[in-house]
């Protein structure tokens, strides 16, 4: 990479890590962002010293460049990028960059996990279970830590566990992992994909560059989507299909005591099964160590995180939910929660699949009230009001603070599950900030 001219397009967390990686490797780096220079002025003087900057609208489409490193939030379809793709200039992401270096240094196996729901919990399970067996593991990708950070910070590991989103998978070409998992597939990200097939094909890029002994674990695909592509995976890899909940119960109970497993919901037992299969394909597992892990695993922050759980009231933070499927999974996990229970729902509109109507019947099985917030919450409130829905109580508040002031003080016995089903960007930088705000607000109003 030394001496090459590289564009790093998008200066979010992954973009900044990629830029540092390229600068450290001796590349000439041009930073491209949609917003003005003011946003990254400090970076240009500190972490990204030596890089140049250009606003996206001012970028010369004929500029000589050896490679473009694109951030996941930047679509490959934007018009400013198209001339570079037409000139056959490589457009990859920071995962691909770090992967090259990882392979050049002959490091250990890579585990890559994707899916519409459950991937964050599962990568944390794999990471912690391997560490419990004394392995040095890097955990990163979509879970929040760019893969390039492994090299930027001079870390050490014998295995990498990566959560990969569809956006990241779009820009992987040479990437190879010894263990691959697609937990499930249901349509989301309507702002980027027209339909389930387009979204699913992005996910199935995980099957590229197969090797005979690679393990591929696959779960349920919505509406039997992409069955031809899924069938081909069975021929190319060592294949495991995620069993039914009943079979998973039988398999796990035959070796483990699950009574002290804390995460709620059958989907978390499925995630546990996957994590065990992933780990035992890489290293020998000890039953007593797995049992201790089962008893102590807390689950990732903001994913069905227990804020309060008593015999009379549950309050759960599921801020990571950004689609309807994820919220429905969370609600099924709460089927034994004390009633009354309210669902707190809403966030940034996606432009596709924003209506609550296809999901209203399923939601009403699990909760007694819907509390709507944010941009999409306002639209859903008017949608329900126009149709004169009366099967379930519903109300709208502009934000979480307003919701708490009106609901927590008046309804002391009402339980809450905050599972927004929409992205956070109408009011927050990310779902972590949204979840942290929910927890802070809740703790100001409740006494444990």
pLDDT in tens, 80-130: 999 999 999 999 999 999 999 999 999 999 999 999 888 999 999 999 999
Going by pLDDT thresholds of 50, 70 and 90, the confidence category of residue 448 is very low
* 267 Cβ contact partners less than 8 Å away, ≥ 6 residues apart: 117, 118, 329, 332, 333
Answer whether residue 202 shows pLDDT above 50. Answer: yes
Going by pLDDT thresholds of 50, 70 and 90, the confidence category of residue 447 is low
The lowest-confidence range among 169-178, 261-270, 403-412 is: 403-412
Going by pLDDT thresholds of 50, 70 and 90, the confidence category of residue 45 is confident
- At 1 the pLDDT is 86
Q: Which pTM was predicted?
A: 0.81
Name beta bridge partners: 8.
31, 69
Domains and CATH numbers, the chain: 5-92 (3.40.50.720), 96-296 (3.40.1190.10), 305-445 (3.90.190.20)
Give the pLDDT confidence of 149-158 residue by residue, as tens digits: 999 999 999 9
* 78 Cβ contact partners less than 8 Å away, ≥ 6 residues apart: none
**In 3D, which of 412, 418, 421 has the Cα closest to residue 446?**
412
- At 410 the pLDDT is 67
- Cβ atoms of 409 and 445 within 8 Å: the answer is yes
Q: Is 185 helix (H, G, I), strand (E, B) or coil?
A: strand
Which residue spans within 263-363 are E strands per DSSP?
A: 305-309, 314-317, 341-345
């Amino acid at each position: 990479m030394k001496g090459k001219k590289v564009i790093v397009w998008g200066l979010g967390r992954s973009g900044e890590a990629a830029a540092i990686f390229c600068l450290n490797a001796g590349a000439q780096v041009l930073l491209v962002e949609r917003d003005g220079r003011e946003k990254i002025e400090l970076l240009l003087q500190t972490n990204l010293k030596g890089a140049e900057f250009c606003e996206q609208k001012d970028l010369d489409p004929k500029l000589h460049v050896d490679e473009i490193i694109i951030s996941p939030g930047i679509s490959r379809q934007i018009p400013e990028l198209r001339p570079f793709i037409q000139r056959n200039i490589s457009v990859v992401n920071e995962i691909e960059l770090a992967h090259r270096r990882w392979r050049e240094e002959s490091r250990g196996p890579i585990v890559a996990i994707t899916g519409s729901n459950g991937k964050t919990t599962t990568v944390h399970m794999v990471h912690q279970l391997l560490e419990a067996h004394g392995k040095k593991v890097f955990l990163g990708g979509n879970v929040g830590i760019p893969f390039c950070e492994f090299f930027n910070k001079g870390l050490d590991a014998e295995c990498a566990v990566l959560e990969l989103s569809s956006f990241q998978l779009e820009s992987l070409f040479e990437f190879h992992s010894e263990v691959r998992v697609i937990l499930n597939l249901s349509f989301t990200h309507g702002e980027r994909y027209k339909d389930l097939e387009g979204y699913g094909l992005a996910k199935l890029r995980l099957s590229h560059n197969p090797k005979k002994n690679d393990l591929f674990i696959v779960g349920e695909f919505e509406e039997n989507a992409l069955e031809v592509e899924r069938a081909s995976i069975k021929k190319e890899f060592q294949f495991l299909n995620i069993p039914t909940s009943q079979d998973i119960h039988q398999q796990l109970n035959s070796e483990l005591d699950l009574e002290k497993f804390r995460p709620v919901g059958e989907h978390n037992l499925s995630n546990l099964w996957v994590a065990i299969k992933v780990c035992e394909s890489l290293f020998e597992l000890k039953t007593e160590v797995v049992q201790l892990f089962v008893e102590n695993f807390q689950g990732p922050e903001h994913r069905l995180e227990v804020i309060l759980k008593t015999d009379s009231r549950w309050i759960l933070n599921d801020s990571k939910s950004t689609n309807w499927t994820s919220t429905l999974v969370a609600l099924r996990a709460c089927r034994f929660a004390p009633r009354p229970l309210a669902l707190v729902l809403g966030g940034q509109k996606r432009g596709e699949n924003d209506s609550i109507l296809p999901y209203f019947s399923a939601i009403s099985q699990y909760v007694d009230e819907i509390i709507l917030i944010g941009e999409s919450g306002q639209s859903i409130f008017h949608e329900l009001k126009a149709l004169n829905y009366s099967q379930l109580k519903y109300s709208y508040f502009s934000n979480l603070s307003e919701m708490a002031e009106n609901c927590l003080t008046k309804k002391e016995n009402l339980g809450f599950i905050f599972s927004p089903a929409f992205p956070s960007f109408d009011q927050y930088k990310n779902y972590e900030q949204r979840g942290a705000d929910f927890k802070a607000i809740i703790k100001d109003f409740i006494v444990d």
